[in-house]
Amino acid sequence: MRQSRIVVVGSANMDVVGAGPRLPRPGETVLGNDFVMVPGGKGANQAVGAVRAGAACTFLGALGSDSFGVTLRARITAAQVDTTHLRVVYGASGVALVMVNAAGENAILVTPGANAAFTALTEAELDVVRGADVLVAQLEIPVETVTEAAVAARAAGTRVILNAAPARQVPAELLAAVDLLVVNETEAQLLTGRGRDEPAALLTLVPRAVLTLGGEGAWYVDRDGRAVHVPPVPVEVVDSTAAGDAFTAALAVAWGEGREMVDAVRWAAAAGAACVRRLGASVALPRRAEIDALYTP
C-alpha cells in the first residue's frame, strides 16, 4: 500500500481550551477544572491528522506575525507536516476560544486573524495542489481561495474532499469541483434543507457524500446508489472538538491509499473515536496504530 500524498488548504488557529462541568449560559461564569493551549484550526488539524494517519502532507495556509504564529509554525512542522509554503502575514494569527463540558460537548468562538488574508494562491501553491493525490479543504478561510484550489485540483486530476465546516453557503463553482463532501447534520441542513433522515439529498450537490452524526455514526451515499450507515465506535468521550478533523483526515488518507470508500469511512470513524478520548484538538489526533486498534472492517 503506497503512502497517500495529501495537501490541505485551510486555517491554522491557536486553540485556547478550558474544560469545566458545564458550558456557561450568557452572562454566567462557571469555574473550570482544566486548561490547555494547543495548535488548532480545521486546516492545521487535518494536516497533522493526515500525517499521523500515515500520509505525506503539505499544508497551505497563513499565520500571523505574532508569537502565536511562531508557535503554530514550530508545532505544525514538528508534527512532520510540510510547511514550506505556509505564509506569514502581518498581524494576529487565528485564535479559537473553546469551552468543553464534562460530557465532551463544546462551544467555540473563532477569530480568523491571518486566515482571512489567505487569498490569491501563488503558482507554487497551485503546483502543490496539482501534484497531490487528494486535496482537503474546509470553510474557515475565504471561500474564494477554497474554490481556486478545488478548481485547480479538478483540472489536474487531484481528488477533492470538502469538509463544509463551519456551516455556510457553498458556491456552485466550488461544489462542481468536489468529489466527496463531508458534513455534519447542521451543515447538511444548511446546504440542502434536509437533515439526518435524508443523506441522499446531498447527492444533488456532489457525486459522493458523508453525513457524520457524532455518537450515532455516519452515512455514506453516492450516485451509484449506495447508502450505507457506518455505526459509531463506542469509546468514552472526553472532548469532541477535533473528532470531525480526525475523521476527515483519516478518510482522505484511506481514499488516497486506494481503499474502497465504505471501508475508508469505517476507518475514518475509528479515527474520530480515537480522537475524542483526549482533551484538546491537534494533541488528540490519533496515530495510525490507534486507528487500527479501533477499526472494524
Asked whether residue 22 is assigned to any structural domain, the reply reads no
Confirm whether 100 is domain-assigned.
no
27: left (phi over 0), alpha (psi -120 to 50) or beta: left
pLDDT at 284: 86
Find how far residue 93's CA is from the centre of its chain.
18
Cis peptide before 26 (omega within 30 of 0): no
User: Using alpha carbons only, how large is the chain's radius of gyration in Å?
Assistant: 18
Asked whether residue 262 carries a pLDDT value surpassing 80, the answer given is yes
Residue 195: per-residue pLDDT:
74
Domain contains 120: yes
Please, what sign has the CA dihedral across residues 269, 273, 274, 278? positive
Does 203 score more than 80 pLDDT?
yes
Per-residue model confidence as pLDDT tens digits over 78-88: 999 999 999 99
In Å, what is the CA distance from 114 to each residue of 108, 143, 269?
Answer: 18, 15, 31
Q: Residue 252 pLDDT more than 90?
A: yes
Asked whether the predicted pLDDT for residue 282 surpasses 80, the reply is no
Model pLDDT, residue 108: 86
Among all chains, which residue has been given the C-alpha cell 510547511? 83
Contact 73, 87 (CB under 8 A): no
Task: Show binding-site residues for substrate.
Answer: 13-15, 41-45, 140, 245
Please pick, among 66, 133, 179, 245, the residue that the annotation labels catalytic.
245
Known binding-site residues equal: 13-15, 41-45, 140, 184, 212-217, 239, 241, 244-245, 275, 278, 280
Say what percent of the chain tops pLDDT 90: 82
Question: In residues, how long is the chain?
Answer: 297
d(CA 265, CA 23): 31
Question: What is the distance between the terminal CA atoms of the chain, rounded to a whole angstrom?
Answer: 17
Do the domain assignments include residue 124? yes
pLDDT at position 297 is 85
Q: What pLDDT, on a 0 to 100 scale, did the predictor assign at position 259?
A: 95
Tell me which residue has cell 455518537. Answer: 215
Residue range 127-143: mean pLDDT, rounded: 97
Residue with cell string 499565520 = 63
pLDDT value for 234: 85
State whether the Cα torsion 50-54-57-63 is positive or negative: positive
Domain-embedded: residue 109 = no
Name the domain count of the chain: 1
How much is the average pLDDT of 287-296? 95
For the chain, what is the mean pLDDT? 94
82 is catalytic: no
Residue at 242 is within a domain: yes
Q: What percent of the chain has pLDDT over 70?
A: 99
- Whichever domain contains 84, its CATH number is 3.40.1190.20
- Res. 253: pLDDT tops 80: yes
Binding-site sequence positions for ATP: 184, 212-217, 244-245
Residues 49-53, mean pLDDT to the nearest whole number? 97
Strand pairing report for 62-64 and 34-40: unpaired
Q: Judge whether 18 lies within some domain.
A: no
Q: Which domain holds residue 154?
A: 5-11+41-92+115-294
Hey, what's the cell of 284? Answer: 488528540
Instruction: Evaluate whether 245 touches 137 at the Cβ level (below 8 Å).
Output: no
Least confident residue range of 129-138, 235-244, 259-268: 235-244
Instruction: Assess if residue 266 is contained within a domain.
Output: yes
**106: helix, strand or coil:** strand
